[in-house]
């Protein structure tokens, strides 16, 4: 037992050294955790259809320090959620005519305008696309995979909305 103690201390130092080396390499490559978006407005009014991403979008705004206004007069920016759709297309079939691969498509349409401007901006579309293989023998697992891919596309759409809103700069006041 006495002879094994130095071995464990040496192993601990090795693991600690590897962890420190990994941390140094990770910081040297420019990796940075995703922070909050740099939005030029502090209040947004969301109108239009209630979509599957509505709750997550509101939560994302709150995380980024943007308040959801209850009426248009209190908002600096108006966001109209127009529509969303999910599509599922067959990409490939087996020799026996069984589906082997699907394509999932998520489309989100919205438009924005500043509260001080009476004219809406152009309709904007966000499009997400994922492919996944299909097997009748793993029906439940593939249904779960499809739902995860759809959820991932919805989260990507929320991040894309934030990126587009980050590009908006307030109009210069005269």
State the DSSP string of 29-94. TT---------S-SEEEEEE---TTHHHHHHHHHHTT-EE-SSGGG-SEEEEEEEEEEEEEEEEE-
Contacts of 40 (CB under 8 A, 6+ apart): 168, 169, 170
Under DSSP, is residue 168 helix (H, G, I), strand (E, B) or coil? coil
Confidence class for position 174, pLDDT limits 50, 70, 90 = very low
Instruction: For 62-105, write each residue's pLDDT tens digit.
Output: 999 999 999 999 999 999 999 999 999 988 888 888 888 999 99
pTM of the full structure:
0.74
| Cα end-to-end distance, the chain, whole Å | 81
Distance, CA of 25 to CA of 51 (rounded, Å): 42
Its sign, for the CA torsion 81, 161, 75, 55, is: positive
- What is residue 130's predicted lDDT score, i.e. its pLDDT? 95
Q: What is the DSSP letter of 97?
A: S
């Amino acid at each position: 037992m006495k002879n094994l103690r130095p071995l464990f201390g040496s192993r601990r130092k090795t693991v600690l050294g590897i962890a420190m080396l990994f941390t140094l390499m990770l910081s040297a490559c420019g990796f940075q955790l995703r922070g909050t978006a740099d939005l030029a407005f502090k209040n947004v009014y969301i109108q239009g259809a209630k979509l599957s991403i509505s709750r997550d979008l509101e939560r994302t705004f709150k995380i980024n320090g943007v308040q959801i206004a209850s009426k248009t007069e209190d908002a600096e920016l108006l966001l109209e959620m127009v529509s969303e759709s999910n599509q599922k297309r067959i990409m490939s079939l087996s020799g026996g005519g069984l589906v082997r691969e699907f394509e999932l498509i998520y489309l989100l349409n919205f438009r924005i305008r500043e509260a001080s401007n009476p004219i809406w901006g152009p309709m904007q579309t966000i499009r997400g696309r994922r492919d996944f293989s299909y097997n009748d023998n793993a029906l439940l697992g593939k249904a779960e995979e499809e739902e995860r891919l759809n959820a991932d596309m919805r989260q990507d759409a929320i991040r894309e909305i934030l990126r587009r809103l980050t590009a908006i700069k307030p109009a210069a006041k005269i």
